[in-house]
Amino acid sequence: MIIDILTIFPDMVAGPLRESIVGKAIDRRLVEVRVFNIREFATDSHRTTDDRPFGGGSGMVMKPEPLAAAIRCVRARTPPPVVVLLSPQGRVFNQELAWELSRQQHLCLVCGRYEGIDERIRHYHVDDEISIGDYVLTGGELPALVVLDAVVRLVSGVLGSSQSVEEDSFASGLLEYPHYTRPEIFEGHRTPEVLLSGNHGAIRRWRRQQSLLRTWQRRRDLLEQIELSSEDRELLTEAIQEEAEN
């Protein structure tokens, strides 16, 4: 998979690309990530990438010429990319969208700045827009890294095992169950006995029940989006009753 990032602040994204899962995926050549400085596509001596908005108003707007030139440069590569603008006006990013993007061979993530980009770029040069949430950031670099991290870990071979991906929060539409590790007792608090039992069936049942309960407690909107089996409903009802009794 190829992921290109277009930005006027390449140093903002360069560091994280060398670390953790993403860095290892790049080293193993499972993913190729290229960072393009949009300023290099400006033609004036000052490498200008922004200008005042027509019609007046505060702030600056990213000029269309450098952005268009950068996108055309990336589009010239085979396979051509899906060009994604990180924008508060885009589709809200979630796990389903991460899976959708992970199936692409080539992505181009465009990082906006200032008050936004010239609308003609959005209309004629961008294939999709993605938002990572309803809040304001100074630019698209951090959202681009969020999208990249979520997508890269879904690329075949990156995590080494499909089980980790399948058990992630949101992978099944639910929040993930609680995790415990050594020591068995920490500050007087014990690890649930079922996790020490060696009974894999009981462990799977407990984890599913805890996942259902945690989603019910924290994100009931997610439960409304999935169809629970009769067993799931029984597990959830049992867990809610136990919580009430405790």
Report, as residue numbers or ranges, the catalytic residues: 88, 115, 153, 168
CB 129 within 8 A of CB 90: yes
End-to-end CA distance of the chain: 49
How buried is residue 42: exposed, middle or buried, by Cβ count under 10 Å (0-12/13-18/19+)?
buried
Distances (CA, A) of 111 to 134, 200, 236: 17, 46, 42
CB 117 within 8 A of CB 60: no
Q: Which pair of tokens denotes residue 144? A: 């681009």
At residue 187, φ and ψ (nearest 5 deg) are 50, 40
CB 173 within 8 A of CB 162: no
Residue 111: Cβ within 10 Å count: 26
Q: How many Å apart are CA 119 and CA 130, to the nearest integer? A: 16
CB 50 within 8 A of CB 66: no
Q: How many Å apart are CA 239 and CA 210, to the nearest integer? A: 8
Q: How many Å apart are CA 167 and CA 184, to the nearest integer? A: 23
